[in-house]
Amino acid sequence: MTETHNATTTSPSSPEAAQPARPRYKVTGLRVLRSEWAKLWTLRSTWITLALGLVFLIAFGVIAAAQYGSGSGLDDGGPGGDLSNADALGLSLFGISLAQMAFGILGVMVTAGEYSTGMIRSTLAAVPRRLPVLWSKSAVFGLVTFAVGTIGALVAFLIGNELVSGTAAELSLSDSGVVRSLLGAGVYLGLIAVIGTALGALFRSVAGGISVLVGTLMLVPNLTSLLPNSWEDDVNKYLPTNAGESLYSLTHDAASLSPTAGLLVLLGWSALALAGAAYRLVRKDA
């Protein structure tokens, strides 16, 4: 009895058939923006610091307006100084100096924090050209701060204006310059956030970036008093804080810049900080 064996032949499957081709993702500006947006909101410090900045902006504005409305502390030389000639807009934006520090410090942390954790190496590996990372971080955080700052300024004004209703300080949104000043406050805070982001990328240290930011916004304006009187006014108005103040001030005098000139000066400071950060990002290893 003979058995016949039928041999079956199988052809080996090709590697292409066994493993489907992996899709190739191209690095685009929109994808980098989306990545930085996602990273921004995954940080707990983002929520906390943005909330603090918003509280500073609204709470101190409402306190100043309430103090004016009650008639107390108008000429006592206290923290609020002389509020007797103030208007509802100036009272409502009384907390902007503290809000700018909160938003600026968060900007430093957005970039310098990645260097301290080492995450920047993964970021730059995903975006080898590097500079889109800086532009995206600055744009995302700057726009977020602009939105939060504008909303905070508007809320502070609406509440503060109600508190001073019936007094000489009362204004309305339809009054000349009010809407421009409220938007100017948001623009100023947004650009301060961009400067903070650039300083974080430039110094790659949270402590170093915050130190330079605080010195620029708070110490340098006081040090200009050491300059000759003929120089002091000319130098003062070109500092970031004073140039920014012209954006959200309702009135202007000869010692201050116009809103347009103030915006151009502040944009110049932002561009200078970003240029320094871009140079170091391209020239130095992470």
- pTM beyond 0.75: the answer is yes
* pLDDT digits 0-9 by tens, 52-69: 999 999 999 999 999 987
Over residues 201-232, the pLDDT tens digits come to: 999 999 999 999 999 999 998 888 788 877 87
Rounded to 5 degrees, what angle do the CA atoms 46, 94, 180 make?
A: 85
CB atoms within 10 A of CB 22: 6
Q: How confident is the model at residue 84 (pLDDT cuts 50, 70, 90)?
A: low
Q: What is the pLDDT of residue 88?
A: 93
CB contact burial 183-210 (16+ within 10 A = b; e otherwise):
bbbbbbbbbbbbbbbbbbbbbbbbeebb
